[in-house]
Structure 1
Amino acid sequence: MSTEKNADPLEIVAALEKVLDREKTPIPLHEPRFAGNEWNYVRDCLDTNFVSSVGKYVDEFEEKLAEFTGVRRAVAVVNGTAALYLCLKLAGVTSGDEVLVPALTFVATSNAVCYCGAVPHFVDSDLATLGIDPKKLETYLAKITEWKDGFPCNQATGRPIRAVVAMHTFGHPVDLDPLLEVCRKYRLELIEDAAESLGSYYKNIHTGNFGKLASLSFNGNKIVTTGGGGAILTNDEELARQAKHISTTARMTHQWDFIHDCVGYNFRMPNINAALGCAQLEQLNGFLKSKRALAEKYRQAFAPLSGIAFFREPSYAKSNYWLNTLILDKGDTEMRDSIISETNRRGMLTRPAWVLMNRLPMFQSCPHMDLSAAEDLEQRIINIPSSARLGEEL
């Protein structure tokens, strides 16, 4: 007979209350922190009338972002989805291609593939990282692909498989070295969906440096926010030039004339948003320190409990702990939902993981591999309050 003890919802709620300041409810899942030069820089935009896509803060934000992440170039755009779409487009993804994406991800990852006219092909997760499982993916590709014109094709659909999108789930880096080996073996372009991983490192190198291109998000719930916004990261100067050009309606430089040399996009980040981002980047190291302090406090609070564990960064990584995560020992949606219901009732805003992409109505006909690990995680994940301010005094 098994002696394994199930998770106790009341013990879990009590552990959360022990860490969090219960006098300040509701406690959001993740809220922005404005404690620096935000007012000064935004006021400067208003005072000078430079509030749109032209202004000094856009260039400064891109430069500071590239410096922090260690990439050669960063191109600021209106949001993370637009950034990922342009990454895929610049990597050569076209209509009729298939792109390998995790089933366990936010819907924007799959949407961006569809914007290219391509088809998402859903792959499984690694229980140790919450991201793509490279070993399982390699085994799967060996079974389902055939080579045509020098590229791997899905035998069942006849479509070429062009790229793989590695999404760093909740800020925890995918195991990139073996995934890069799979990409080399099957001639796949690696795109990093680093929307959640600003401040996260794989073997001491910041995420976004491993694929041909990477995307970031600066939505209001991210570790650094510009209100709305995103960025493309790349170490390829020519791709950066193209990204900046097509995201600015592909307009050629001219003093007054409107000459556009290809179909472009009005995707450039406004100066007033970039101003907010510059102030946020000045505080990023403090945010990261606070978030790691909060993660450690959670780890200690949940260590004595049975039936549940606090998810910790993989051994090779340093995570930003964007969204702190609890993992039930057993897949039990009823238990998961009872915990989420009770914590929300008490003003601590928790949530489950996303519904798996292959179960959403618009993606149900898309190809997918065995998704047993992702299906298991979907039933066991609970995200808990993770705002930087919660770790400031710990």
Structure 2
Amino acid sequence: MSLNIPLSVPNLTLDILENIKECIETGWVSTGGRFITEFENKIAEYVGVEEAVGVQSGTAGLHMSYRVLGVEAGDEVIVPTVTFIATVNPVTYLGAHPIFIDCDDTLNMDLDKLEEFLETQCEFTERGLKNKKSNRLIKVLCVVHIFGNPIDMERVMGIAEKYNLKVVEDAAESLGSYYVDGKYKGRYTGTIGHVGVYSFNANKILTTGGGGMIVSNDISLLEKARFLSVQAKTDPLYYKHDEIGYNYRLTNVAAAFGTSQIDQIERFINSKIKNYNLYKEEIANIEGLDLLPFNNRTRPNYWFYSVIVDKEKYGIDRDELLSGLNEVGIQARPLWGLMSDQKPFKDEIAYKVEKARYYVDNIINIPCSTSLTEEQLFKVIEKLKEFKE
């Protein structure tokens, strides 16, 4: 009998139906309507910024973020090799090139290697920071808070200032994560770099079905992004367009989901914390499995739970465990394939990608839905123990 325990699914309640009913009755189902503004305001208030711009996906948000920060064809953008491909694809939409940096033991970008790359492989010119190997300008650094685990933004911003780089925070996975110590104490991921982007895909901590949000402390960047997201209408009455825009605005129906979901985010995070701690306690007793910790000095949202499989101690390797769990109805997933190994990016620069290769071969992500029950969690633990035996 299949257990049917999914990896990460939405936690939806029927109170959303009143919002959807209003969308239908008023006819505001597309890129206009009161829920868009309401959802933008609620996100902005929650993370502590003045404004936010709703878009149709996190990918769309990243595309516009790179553009409003000045990335052009022939430029380069520094990105992590450990991330989902949506971080990288928008770089290429603009005709620019990614530079891939290895991860550290948190799965986030290795900031030591980032600094080493900038120090040894780049030079300042009159036009800006130049990659000595490619002769291209580097304008933007994009960091990702992998699985909701905040990277050291104090150090990131120091590096960016030294090398005159703009910072995009891909906070698609980390809505609700914040810093509890240091320079950015009390600040949420996504609100520290020049631009931050959240995703509301169905597997995220809150969902609008699809959708995303751009935040920034620079209102002019948000105004530019909002303008571009509605096809860059210079004169909306007479449909005049002075530059290329996109059909990227969040829909009212999606926002109607979001206004309900954001009110529950702390409850969702508390569920994630409770289940993470239960897993941690139980997995500590299974030789050969280690639950990846989250960073100190932060309150993460605990979006995904990553387990490192040591074949020598556990008895089977990650892929055998992955197959076994899925066969009994426990949905588990590996880490994404490294971006620097993907076919579209095989000719791009990858700097000392080493540690990421270990993690891509040995990590498994286990069920972590905010609606995961204790009974389901212990079924997962039971199977993890069985496969070892």
Question: What CA deviation, in whole Å up to 9, does each residue of 1:283-333 have, x standing for no partner?
Answer: 111111111111111111101122221112101211111111112347999
| Contiguous gaps of at least 5 residues in structure 1 | 1-22
> Which amino acid is 1:373 matched to?
K
Alignment correspondent of 1:89? 67
Q: Hey, what's the Cα distance between the residues in 2 that align with 1:333 and 1:137?
A: 36
Q: Does 1:139 align with 2:112?
A: no
Are residue 389 (structure 1) and residue 367 (structure 2) matched? no
SS at match of 1:190: strand
- Identify the residue that residue 38 of structure 2 maps to in structure 1: 60
Structure 1 length-normalised TM: 0.90
Structure 1 pair 391–312 and aligned structure 2 pair: CA distance change class (3 A) = farther
- TM-score, scaled relative to structure 2: 0.91
SS at match of 1:166: strand
1:336 aligned partner, one-letter code = R
- Code of the residue aligned with 2:321 in structure 1: it is I
Indicate the residue corresponding to 2:171 in structure 1: 194
**Alignment RMSD:** 1.9
Alpha-carbon distance in 2 for matches of 1:118, 1:73: 28
Q: Distance in 1 between matches of 2:321 and 2:176?
A: 30
SS in structure 2 at match of 1:206: coil
Mark the CA change 1:344 to 1:283 in structure 2 (over 3 Å): closer, same or farther. same
Is this contact kept in 2: 1:291–1:391, CA < 8 A?
no
Q: Which amino acid aligns with 1:179?
A: V
Tell me what 1:19 maps to.
Answer: none
Displacement after TM superposition at 1:253 (Å):
5.6
Query: Which string of whole-angstrom CA distances, capped at 9 and with x for unpartnered residues, describes residues 327-360 of structure 1?
Result: 2347999701011011111111001000001111
Give the distance between the partners of 2:294 and 2:38, measured in 1 at CA.
31
Q: Name the structure 1 match of 2:7.
A: 29
Q: Output one character per residue of 1:58-102: Cα deviation in whole Å (capped at 9) or x when no partner.
A: 000000010111122210011110000101101111111111100
Give, as a single letter, the amino acid of the residue that structure 1 aligns with 2:216. T
Find out whether 1:237 has 2:225 as its counterpart: no
CA deviation after TM superposition for structure 1 residue 259, in Å: 2.5
Give the Cα separation in 2 of the matches to 1:263 and 1:381.
42
Q: Distance in 2 between matches of 1:106 and 1:126?
A: 16
Alignment of 1:2-17 (within 5 A): none
Matched, 1:362 2:344: yes
Aligned residue for 2:140? 163
Whole-Å Cα distance in 1 between the matches of residues 139 and 28 of structure 2? 40
Q: Distance in 1 between matches of 2:102 and 2:179?
A: 20
Equivalent position to 2:28, from 34, 39, 50 = 50
Report the alpha carbon displacement of residue 264 of structure 1 after superposing the two structures with TM.
Answer: 1.3
Q: Which runs of 5+ in 2 are unaligned?
A: 181-185, 378-389
> Which digits, 9 at most, give the CA deviation of each residue in 1:234-266, with x for residues without a partner?
111111111111101112465x43233322111
Are residue 125 (structure 1) and residue 107 (structure 2) matched? no
User: What is the SS of the residue equivalent to 1:26?
Assistant: coil
Find the residue that maps to 1:163 and give its secondary structure: strand
Match of 1:184 among 161, 176, 188: 161
Deviation at 1:160, TM superposition (A): 0.9
